[in-house]
A and B are shown apart, each in its own frame.
Chain A
Amino acid sequence: MSADPAARAVERAAREAYGRLVAWLGARSRDLAGAEDALADAFRAALESWPRAGVPARPEAWLLTAARRRMIDAARRRRTRDAAVPTLLATAGEVEAIGDFPDERLKLMFVCAHPAIDPAARAPLMLQVVLGLDAATIAAAFLVSPAAMGQRLVRAKEKIRLAGIGFHIPEPEELPARLDVVLDAIYAAYGTAWEELGTAALAQEAVWLARMAASLLPDAEALGLLALILFCESRRDARRDPAGRFVPLAAQDPARWDTALLTEARSALAHAGAMGRIGRFQLEAAIQSVHAARAETGRTDWETVALLYEGLHELTATTGVAVGRAAALAELRGPEAGLAALDAIEAGRVTAYQPYWALRATLLRRLGVAFQEAAGRALRLTADPATRAHLHRELGADP
């Protein structure tokens, strides 16, 4: 944070308005890369001008006007028959007339998670254009090289511009399916942060996106995703003991869970449930809420967890859900039931899925039979050092 008040005003405007400014410019030009470049120029100009001339009364409108002018200049320089120029010129009145320009970030999210966009680019694209994260940070979180991530983002923005992906909220009949893709991308951003325990910052960004989606579009599943992410976030500190070692959910001290986040999660889930449209994220959040109830009841209601997994498995039989269901059955009916559920999963889907092998090893060990092979596979699939150490302690397996 800078000491200079004008520079601080620029930083604050950047943090709070970045996505809104990109969305506004992008919606009128369809050129996200151009919008980002123009906005970066506008921020640079603000850093030069505001300390001398003072912070304008409406900083965001100032930035918008500056960025819009730069986009028009850049398009003219390209000398192409660029549709952006007349559209942007026509917005002159709009910029002056509105003190508070419309928030079009939801449209921007739908653009980033459009079915025509490469699925691997959707979450990174959202983090970059809605929240302003730089490509290197995103690349580190997604375990790709900065060059590869940069190229993926450039390609996605080119696709949006050339294919003419429109900035609008999908029609009501398409909305649930399209929203699912948006929510999936946010969940992917959060899931990436979740695996990488060190990058709490990215988790915060994903929470921000989930809050934004749920507030801009109060849909049952958007609220369900928000609740799910908040339940997981509430346990962030409890996942490590004072020595920095990994603590699995069952062994966590509920006193270390964040009660404010838990309250917010429960309220989001209740709000979602009242809407009467059940979905995958609400069911996953409901499972987390059962785990969270241990803070009050001192026990985990595995019967309800297993029941919720049953519903989830019917709705979406992903590998993660199938393994979660097996874990719940093992708690409820014993390790044999859990193993039977694991055996029912197609072998090809689990060769590289760490939770499958970790659970399998744990259940085999409980039955007192050879578990070392499964434990070894689990260990080889674990990158996080703390989780590796935990597996090592629990199963005594050698990598």
Chain B
Amino acid sequence: MRYMMMLYIPEGSWPKMTEAERAAGTAAYMTYTKALADAGVLVGTDRLEPSTAGTTIRTVNGKAQVLDGPYADTKEQLGGYYLIDVPDLDAALDWAAKCPGAQNGILEVRPVVG
């Protein structure tokens, strides 16, 4: 089954880090991504620009309403995702628990339809 692990991370944390902390953080994600790939479960992954770079849009009465900023104004914001293919939820949760993002943020694990 395919699962999307969505990483909700407190956005303020990254800019406040020292150069060394940021390097260590990046290395941790690289190691984790490689582990997923080596295990043959990685389908795809991307990191997102901060939510301040986001734009929301909805169509009301046929007219597009465009707004600056993310959909929900929360402390934790969607910062990236991993798409993995594993046998079941427990396997997905095992991987999610090992993700560096689970240490300073929250991961939501959702099955992909089909």
Is chain B found bound to chain A in the same assembly? yes
- Chain A interface (Cβ within 8 Å of chain B)? 81, 114, 116, 162-166, 168, 170
Given contacts A116-B89, A164-B89, 11 further A-B contacts (CB under 8 A): A114-B89, A163-B111, A164-B1, A164-B88, A164-B92, A165-B88, A165-B90, A166-B87, A166-B89, A166-B90, A166-B91
In the docked arrangement, what's the CA distance between A170 and B87, Å? 14
Residues of B within 8 A of A168 (CB): 88, 90
- Chain B interface (Cβ within 8 Å of chain A)? 1, 3, 87-93, 111, 114
SS class, residues of chain B in contact with chain A? mixed
Find the A residue at minimum CB distance from B92: A164
Closest 10 CB pairs of A and B: A166-B88, A164-B1, A165-B89, A164-B88, A164-B89, A163-B89, A166-B90, A164-B111, A163-B111, A81-B114
In the docked arrangement, what's the CA distance between A168 and B1, Å? 16
Find the A residue at minimum CB distance from B1: A164
Instruction: Looking at the assembled complex, report how far the CB atom of A118 sits from the nearest CB atom of chain B, in whole angstroms.
Output: 15
Count chain B CB atoms within 10 A of each CB in A114, A162, A166 and give the residue with the most: A166
Count chain B CB atoms within 10 A of each CB in A114, A164, A168 and give the residue with the most: A164
Tell whether, in the assembled complex, residue B90 and residue A170 are in contact, meaning their CB atoms are under 8 Å apart.
yes
In the docked arrangement, what's the CA distance between A162 and B90, Å? 13
Residues of B within 8 A of A162 (CB): 111
Residues of A within 8 A of B93 (CB): 116
Residues of B within 8 A of A170 (CB): 90
The contact sample of 24 A-B pairs, CB cut-off 8 A, is A81-B114, A114-B89, A116-B89, A116-B93, A162-B111, A163-B89, A163-B111, A164-B1, A164-B3, A164-B88, A164-B89, A164-B92, A164-B111, A165-B88, A165-B89, A165-B90, A166-B87, A166-B88, A166-B89, A166-B90, A166-B91, A168-B88, A168-B90, A170-B90
Instruction: Looking at the assembled complex, report how far the CB atom of A177 sits from the nearest CB atom of chain B, in whole angstroms.
Output: 13
Instruction: Looking at the assembled complex, report how far the CB atom of A210 sits from the nearest CB atom of chain B, in whole angstroms.
Output: 25
In the docked arrangement, what's the CA distance between A114 and B3, Å? 18
Residues of A within 8 A of B88 (CB): 164-166, 168
Residues of A within 8 A of B87 (CB): 166
Instruction: Looking at the assembled complex, report how far the CB atom of A194 sits from the nearest CB atom of chain B, in whole angstroms.
Output: 32
In the docked arrangement, what's the CA distance between A170 and B91, Å? 11
Instruction: Looking at the assembled complex, report how far the CB atom of A233 sits from the nearest CB atom of chain B, in whole angstroms.
Output: 34
